[in-house]
Structure 1
Amino acid sequence: MTSLVDVFVTAARQAGATADDADLTAAGEYLLSRWSEPQRHYHTVAHLSAVLDVIDRHAGLAAHAERVRLAAWMHDAVYDPRALGDANERDSAEFAAGLLTTLGVPEAGAAEVARLVGLTAGHATGADDPDGELLCDADLAILASDEDKYAEYTAAIRREYAHVPEDAFRDGRSQVLKALLELPSIYRLEQLRTRWEEKARANLRRELDEVLGAA
């Protein structure tokens, strides 16, 4: 069975990495160590695997699937629940560009992966950006899960923000939920929007009602 590290090595090679296999393997293992940090409860290896699974199933919709896979690996490489605004995404994008360049990925490819990582801050993509659309849709796939899995997701998010008082957490979470519901479409790729949009909006509305009801 292909390991996650093998998936990273393959994607890096396809993106033009010139580092030897030992260095690529070490980089993949280092990334997995980041995804396994103790402050993470949702943004874990399980989330990474889920995002990669969506990308694999819909790779044909991407222009450069290997870059989307690398962006999945990098999009939460830096994750501090105490960070403000989109600092985690900015830092992850910078980290991605630096690491991939060190591994010999051409500068243009590394910069494109960093750009994709940055999109996950607001999950907003421009026109004609199938790679960005696939990454963002894969990152938000959890929103369209069944009620039990969605409840596990929200509980894990709350554990990541255990340092935030309940009132402040409800205020912040309600803003996130409203912003998602105000999007013209949560999912950008038609195949995924058709399957997931209605369920995701139902989950978000239910959670928002619960958050506001607890206030």
Structure 2
Amino acid sequence: MTSDAHREKSLRARWHATTAAAGAAADRDPAPYADRLLTAWAEPQRKYHTTAHLADVLARIDVLAEAADDPAAVELAAVELAAWFHDAVYRPDRSENEERSAVLAERALPELGIDDARTAEVARLVRLTVTHDPAPGDTNGEVLCDADLAVLAGAPAAYAAYAAAVRAEYGFVPDEAFRAGRAAVLRQLLDLPRLFRTPYGAAHWEAPARANLAAELAELSPPQSRGE
């Protein structure tokens, strides 16, 4: 079995387990929803926002949930469902991806018999990934946002692969415009007082993420601004 096939099989099993834990009705088949979501995550315009990213976010949710001071404070089913939906709609040339992804969750989850309160929480979490700025005490939001941003803390080679994949998704943007836009995003991230809100994220991911962001920003800067 190829790595892609193994990943898809694992994701399908996880989807079934997560929807059951979230309260899906026993007479509703979650498989067609997995089909549609995995098809969306495999669309050809995606180079970073792929099933590999989905699997990574889910794995990091596991790490953060296990490391939480109070694991019971994390509504794991809602956070995991939000991970599934947070980039379910993704068009690099559009700005309403998160909103459309949240609306998709609001439509799909009740069809599975998942109650209104949990559906609303999943949609709220999806919309939170616009800013990655959970309010103090928003444990669910902290876990999802930290899991989503943990790619920034990868080893240099992994971070370089991530940055290249992001550039590939924006292949339609000319180099100069992309450098300016990407540099603005990196500066916004570096200006945040904290990238990670969970204790685990702050301890393990904050420093390497900032180092990676600063290094990429330096590479994007014109030679004269780097003193060359």
Q: What is the deviation of 1:18? A: 1.1
Q: What is the deviation of 1:192? A: 1.5
Q: What is the deviation of 1:19? A: 5.4
Q: What is the deviation of 1:9? A: 1.4
Q: Distance in 2 between matches of 1:59 and 1:9?
A: 19
Q: What is the deviation of 1:134? A: 0.4
The residue aligned with 2:15 is 8
The residue aligned with 2:80 is 69
SS of the aligned residue for 2:221 comes to helix
| 1:34 and 2:40 matched | yes
SS of the aligned residue for 1:3 comes to helix
The residue aligned with 2:194 is 185
Instruction: Output aligned runs, 1:103-118, within 5 Å.
Output: 103-118=112-127
Q: Distance in 1 between matches of 2:148 and 2:27?
A: 30
> Which sections of structure 1, spanning at least 5 residues, go unmatched?
none
| 1:162 and 2:171 matched | yes
Q: Distance in 2 between matches of 1:203 and 1:19?
A: 46
Q: What is the deviation of 1:75? A: 0.3
SS of the aligned residue for 2:210 comes to helix
> Partner letter of residue 73 of structure 1?
W
Contact 1:11 1:69 in 2 (8 A): yes
Q: Distance in 2 between matches of 1:162 and 1:75?
A: 22
How many equivalent pairs are there? 212
The residue aligned with 2:136 is 127
> Partner letter of residue 222 of structure 2?
G
Q: What is the deviation of 1:57? A: 2.0
Question: TM-score if structure 2 supplies the norm length?
Answer: 0.89
Q: Distance in 1 between matches of 2:179 and 2:137?
A: 36
Pick the aligned partner of 1:45 from 48, 51, 70: 51
SS of the aligned residue for 2:205 comes to helix
Pick the aligned partner of 2:101 from 81, 92, 95: 92
Contact 1:51 1:139 in 2 (8 A): yes
Q: What is the deviation of 1:42? A: 0.2
Contact 1:6 1:25 in 2 (8 A): no
The residue aligned with 1:102 is 111
Q: Which one has a bigger Cα radius of gyration?
A: 2
Q: What is the deviation of 1:92? A: 0.7
Q: What is the deviation of 1:38? A: 0.2
> Partner letter of residue 24 of structure 1?
P
Question: TM-score if structure 1 supplies the norm length?
Answer: 0.94
Q: Tell me how large the CA RMSD over aligned residues is.
A: 1.5
The residue aligned with 2:218 is 209
Q: What is the deviation of 1:58? A: 2.3
Q: What is the deviation of 1:206? A: 0.6
Q: Distance in 2 between matches of 1:198 and 1:82?
A: 31
Contact 2:83 2:144 in 1 (8 A): yes
Q: What is the deviation of 1:160? A: 0.3
SS of the aligned residue for 1:58 comes to helix
> Which sections of structure 2, spanning at least 5 residues, go unmatched?
1-5
